[in-house]
Amino acid sequence: MTQNTLLSLGHGFSARALATRLIPAGWRVIGTTRSADKAAEIAQTGVEPLIWPGADAETVLQDATALLISAGPDKDGDPVLRQLHAQIASHAKQFQWVGYLSTTGVYGDHGGDWVDEDTPLTPSTARGQARVEAEAAWQAIPGLPLHIFRLAGIYGPGRGPFSKVRAGTARRIIKKGQVFSRTHVDDIAQVLEASIRQPRPGAIYNVCDDNPAPPQDVIGHAAELLGLPLPPAVDFETADMTPMARSFYAESKKVRNDLIKRELGVVLKYPDYRSGLKAML
């Protein structure tokens, strides 16, 4: 039998978490990266690194039974399709599963109301619009067994509020009515694995926990767990923030995750930020 082989294009935080589940199950995982240093890090996890662009991706595509696309769009569109569209289209029927990691930013601002997978896509940022266009470009490839995963704010080991709270640089940015959904990287990995084992081409899934919350609550709870003083509250309107950081506050919504539970049978490991932060600490 041909070994199950995942080609991970843009092998980042979420893809690494998935690899830790697939490799013990007998999968071969090939992960692309742009630098030799990151390639060396990837190799230490049991993933076969591939520096790309630069390497011959066609040869690797011929071996792949599944694709995971984590690379986000840039100013010129989707970087994977820009360079590999023809090759991926020609291999479309070979793949058993293709996953594209998108973002809940495609839904835009809903004033703190709930959204689900059927909510119209009305992004309010250029970044969200680029994701809408990238999703559509992947969906347009005939015969590709595509699954789209719209991820909420990702956190996990090495990505969280603790370092800023410890350093005394954390702030609780207050914007009335602001609420975000978020997801622990381990739950992303288990959703992806469940989908690989139960493919439904054309599926779209929101990936988030059960507890959308104001961002200042998360910072405050992190400080509480560390036994440190509550970081200062700063009004959003007067806060000194980068344009990127400020843009995240342009959208407020709560994201429903019923479909990953009902269809994929997922039981979240970290159903809220409290359990996720406690485990990280």
- Contact of 52 with 79, CB cutoff 8 Å: no
Q: What pLDDT digit, counting tens, does each position of 14-62 carry?
A: 999 999 999 999 999 999 998 899 999 999 999 999 998 776 777 889 8
Is 131 a residue whose pLDDT tops 50? Answer: yes
| Average pLDDT, integer, range 249-275 | 97
pTM score of the predicted model: 0.95
pLDDT at 3: 85
Q: What pLDDT digit, counting tens, does each position of 160-171 carry?
A: 999 999 999 999
Handedness of CA 45, 48, 52, 57 (dihedral sign): negative
* Segments in 150-271 forming alpha helices (H): 162-167, 185-197, 215-226, 243-248, 258-264
CA dihedral 193, 116, 111, 103 (to 10 degrees): 30
pLDDT at 60: 85
Using DSSP bridges, classify how beta strands 153-155 and 5-9 pair: parallel, antiparallel or unpaired: unpaired
Helix orientation angle between 13-22 and 185-197, rounded to the nearest 10 degrees: 50
pLDDT band at 94 (very low <50, low <70, confident <90, very high): very high
Rounded to an integer, what distance in angstroms lies between the CA atom of residue 146 and that of residue 95?
9
- Contact of 165 with 222, CB cutoff 8 Å: yes
Q: How many residues does the chain have?
A: 281
Handedness of CA 128, 129, 131, 132 (dihedral sign): positive
55 compared with 105, residue with greater pLDDT: 105
Is it true that the peptide bond before 53 is cis, omega within 30 degrees of 0? yes
Cβ within 8 Å of residue 9, ≥6 positions away: 32, 52, 67, 68, 69, 70, 71, 80
pLDDT at 247: 86
- H-helix or E-strand containing 183? strand 182-184
Domain boundaries, the chain: 5-156+182-209+255-269
pLDDT at 1: 45
Q: How far is CA 163 from CA 87, 104, 148, 171, in A?
A: 43, 26, 32, 12
pLDDT at 245: 85
Rounded to an integer, what distance in angstroms lies between the CA atom of residue 133 and that of residue 90?
21
Q: Which amino acid type is present at position 260?
A: I
pLDDT at 188: 98
Rounded to an integer, what distance in angstroms lies between the CA atom of residue 98 and that of residue 33?
19
Q: Give the closest residue to 9 by CA, choosing from 118, 83, 111, 114.
A: 83
Q: What pLDDT digit, counting tens, does each position of 187-229 carry?
A: 999 999 999 999 999 999 999 999 999 999 999 999 999 999 9
Pick the CATH number of 5-156+182-209+255-269 from 3.60.21.10, 3.40.630.10, 3.10.129.10, 3.40.50.720: 3.40.50.720
